[in-house]
Amino acid sequence: MFARRILLLAGTLALACVPSTAVAQAPAPGERIAPGVSAAGVPVSGLTVEEAAQRLAATYGARLKKGVSVTVARRTTRLYAKQAKVKFDAVRSAKRALYAGRKLAVPAPGAAPAVVDVPLAISYSKSAVRRFARRADRRLSRAPRDAKVRITLRRVRVTHSRTGRGIDHSALAQQIMVAFGDPRLERVILPKLIVTKPRVNASQARRRARTVITIQQSTFTLRLFRNLKLRKRYRVAVGLPGYPTPRGRFSIVSKQVNPTWSVPNSPWAGELAGTSVGGGSASNPLKARWMGIVNGVGIHGTGESGSIGTRASHGCIRMHVGDVIDLFNRVPIGAPVLIG
């Protein structure tokens, strides 16, 4: 009895310790795959390589030709197996199962048999998969759009913001490769949508445009907008043809009550050129209020009421004294000014 046990143990050890050269040897004629072996979940134990290859081809051949679909944000794009150069080698897959079976140890008496599941021999073009993933990202992606204040001479409005979106194309490529490598996996991939918020939303844009001034030189009209709505119109005078009022988008940079006039060093200023005239002086043309805009040009009251509605100034915007006081109290520093 003891000798018999020794012989059984020796036989078990011999089967368990199969030399690596035996695993690499080509299949012997009629050799069958060991018990407990499957390929991508398909049992192939007891089959020859040819029989196992036929079973694997029948099970997965058609599925491996279908490619994958990517669905995100209600858009679906497809990468066909032909485009990705997917190739399935059923014979090589069967040989993998055979070689894996050779490595299995013979179970001890009463023990559960060892099992192994080998992957299929599938190849594909990684570069084609990565190109597809980048292309899918480009088609879907959009940059976030900030809300903006749109100012025209007659209207102020705010365009709405829009969130940006995109996907992680590297992660998507990896998901596709994993799906191509295992036909048991789902062929519809739902990558995570990455949402990016705009820096400025509509509410923020409205706050920035709470007070807006526009000056339409052709009609000598200054318009005051509050909270995107036209609140008041004022008649003004603008620059002479030789001293035009600048055109463009500016803002109120300073405010003064009874401003001092720093006389420009210009021939038209006569003997006052380069001097300063105190606020309230009869010789000071800047009456009552001053709202500076750009390069010495601003909005101010005038004692020459008859000039209102004409091109009469040296670049500034003139207003009736009562009007400029009213406007001054309504306009903060930093308010946008559009002159056209």
Q: Is 314 tagged catalytic?
A: no
Q: Is 17 tagged catalytic?
A: no
Please count the other Cβ atoms lying within 10 Å of the Cβ belonging to residue 184: 11
Mark 103-140 as b/e (b = at least 16 C-beta within 10 Å).
Answer: ebebeeeeeeebeeebebbbebeeebbbbbbeebbeeb
Mark 237-269 as b/e (b = at least 16 C-beta within 10 Å).
Answer: bbbeeebebeeeebebeebbeebebebeeeeee
Catalytic annotation, pick one of 17, 160, 169, 300: 300
CA 63 centroid distance within chain = 35
Give the whole-angstrom CA distance, residue 201 versus residue 148. 8
* Residue-by-residue DSSP string for 274-299: T-EE-TT-TT--SEEEEEEEETTEEE
Contact 212, 151 (CB under 8 A): yes
Catalytic annotation, pick one of 17, 160, 169, 316: 316
Q: Annotated active-site positions, please?
A: 300, 316
